[in-house]
Chains A and B, each alone.
Chain A
Amino acid sequence: MAEQPSEGKPPAAPKPQPPAKPPAAMATTPWEDELVRDLREKFADQITEFSVYLGQKFLIARPEAVPAIIEYLKLEAGFDYLVDVTAVDYPERPERFELVYILYSFARNERIRIKTRIAEGVRPASVVRIHPTANWLEREVYDMFGIEFDGHPDLRRILLPEDWSGHPLRKDTSILDMDNRWVREHLGIESGQ
């Protein structure tokens, strides 16, 4: 999985890329505070980046460390509310999916994001046992991206029909050409367009 170093944040030499698709050149600043020191001490190289963008803090971690980080943040740092779990698809990257967990702490009134990158076919561990709210959120990520969560109690499609094929929010799924077979069989029309 991690044979390729995750793209270094300040890209050293701006090599010419064909189209400027996602050049990952977010103008971030480093995130430094007490919490970062604690996390560095606890998770060392499991977390590869601490950044701030537009005043919003996020960290990038290795996928296998994510549940432990979320659990640590919940129990030790007061991040007791999992706001959202979602994903972003970058098909041209070797680790094509970016999973995003948004956490909030009522005590600190602070919001942070945890991001991790996974390749196609990798099964990230579910965080349902830490935050029950992740149940439907992970189901939606599975439904829309086809990412299967390991240890999820009930991993089924949630918004689309069970016999739907494909995962709509993947970039290679065209909005004009989703599951025409399903549409023909169930609605009796040629396509949904």
Chain B
Amino acid sequence: MPDGTFLDATELVLNMGPQHPSTHGVLRVILKLDGEKVIGTECVIGYLHRGIEKIAENRTYAQFAPYVDRMDYVAAVSNGLGYCLAVEKLLGVEVPPRAQAVRVILTELNRIASHLIWLGTHALDVGAITPLFYCMREREEILNIFEKYCGARLTTHAFRIGGLQYETYDTFEEDVRAFCDMFLPRVDEYEELLTGNRIWIGRLRNVGILNAEDCKAYGVTGPLLRAAGVKWDLRKAQPYSGYEQYDFEIPTGTNGDSYDRYLVRIQEMRQSVRIIRQALDGLPGGPIMGKVPKVIKPPVGEVYVSIEAPKGELGYYIVSDGSTQPYRVRVRPPSFVNLQALDKMCRGALVADVVVVIGTIDIVLGEVDR
């Protein structure tokens, strides 16, 4: 055999993205392949970098709040909640109970919306087109509630530092209740389509396994960690915004594979409905805004506050120098940290599985790149 024919080549480098429909945005993955088997991957990110943390240093505390919605734009309400909680802690502001409960309702609705986007696109990646339409249909109802509440559907800026800007609209409670009643049977519908589906199981079972040890080593949180059997959810572990009052379960998996993550997220949507119903039942009256000074000027200090966003632990580390602008805002994004485990999950898998693994991490590139 003569040297150097291409048949000698055992390794092939394949570029996937940034313009690729199943990378969920502008993620570029460089794959090293042996035939169809993945022997290594490398993520190239930053295409959506907007310098959110630098912007924060050049805005006042209140001015920066709308920017955080642009990170994880399918769960903007969660982003806003985390930021408001962090600044409130720095200021020492108490949020009134009514505002806390409305925040919980909207945040849980947003969690459902985020999981629906994930489910629809993940199923689409795997080849099931129908769930996408169903998921979008239900998500539309949630976005309509957001729109009626604050005028925006996606980047809502629903909360303000200290509470809420707007009181709920007249039919808010009925709308949310109607959504809950409609939604649970719809989840059963998704499950009917997918849970026992042979192709779905075949594509997801034992794909992208990440056990509990690896999750902790890579800092992976959220549904991925729970699917690996770790019963850990910040809403229970370190409750915020009144989550300690609500009775709900933390769904977990056993294998830590893509199928378990699917089951965990489906269960989480049901639990979210449970939380929303409890919050509606006990919705207190009273003011919606705490005592916030006209000019927000937290004392010199620093704080790290994190919440359970739909994708994992979303944290804000804010340093104040006593002026009206934050000295430093660091966002600890769940998508960015979770994406780092992609290589671990893909090694040894097939090219087609890479698409499944990207889908199962549930990344939003706006949050990865910030």
What is the CA–CA distance of A173 and B330 in the complex, to the nearest angstrom? 17
- B282 lies within 8 A of chain A by Cβ: no
Q: Say whether B249 faces chain A, with CB atoms less than 8 Å apart.
A: no
Are A133 and B218 neighbours in the complex by a CB distance under 8 Å?
yes
B151 interface residue (CB < 8 Å to A):
no
Chain A contact residues: helix, strand, loop or mixed: loop
Q: Is the interface of B mostly helix, strand, loop or mixed?
A: mixed
Q: Bound complex: CA of A80 vs CA of B214, how far in Å?
A: 11
State whether B306 touches A23 (Cβ < 8 A).
no
Given contacts A102-B317, A131-B217, contact A109 B237 (CB under 8 A): yes
Q: How many residues of B contact A (CB 8 A)?
A: 43
Contact A133 B340 (CB under 8 A): yes
Q: Which of B5-13, B253-261, B295-303 contacts A (4 or more CB under 8 A)?
A: B295-303
- Distance in angstroms between the alpha carbons of A135 and B336 in the assembled complex: 12
Check A22 against B46 for contact (C-beta < 8 Å): no
Cβ of B319 under 8 Å from chain A:
yes
Which chain B residue lies CB-closest to A141? Answer: B330
Cross-chain contact A81 with B219 (CB below 8 angstroms): yes
Q: With A84-B330, A135-B340, A175-B51 in contact, do A160 and B46 touch (Cβ < 8 Å)? A: yes
**B92 proximity list for chain A (CB < 8 A):** 54
- Using A102-B332, A133-B219, A175-B58 as known contacts, say yes or no to A84 and B317 having CB atoms under 8 A apart: yes
Q: How far is the CA of A171 from the CA of B369 in the complex (A)?
A: 20
Can you sample 24 A-B contacts with CB below 8 Å? Answer: A23-B321, A23-B322, A27-B300, A54-B89, A54-B303, A81-B216, A81-B219, A83-B315, A84-B317, A86-B317, A86-B332, A106-B230, A109-B237, A109-B238, A133-B218, A136-B337, A137-B337, A144-B53, A158-B45, A159-B369, A160-B46, A160-B49, A168-B51, A168-B54
* Given contact pairs A24-B300, A102-B304, a sample of 16 additional A-B residue pairs in the complex whose CB atoms are under 8 Å apart: A22-B321, A27-B300, A53-B302, A54-B90, A83-B315, A88-B319, A100-B330, A109-B237, A111-B304, A133-B219, A136-B337, A157-B46, A159-B46, A160-B46, A168-B54, A175-B57
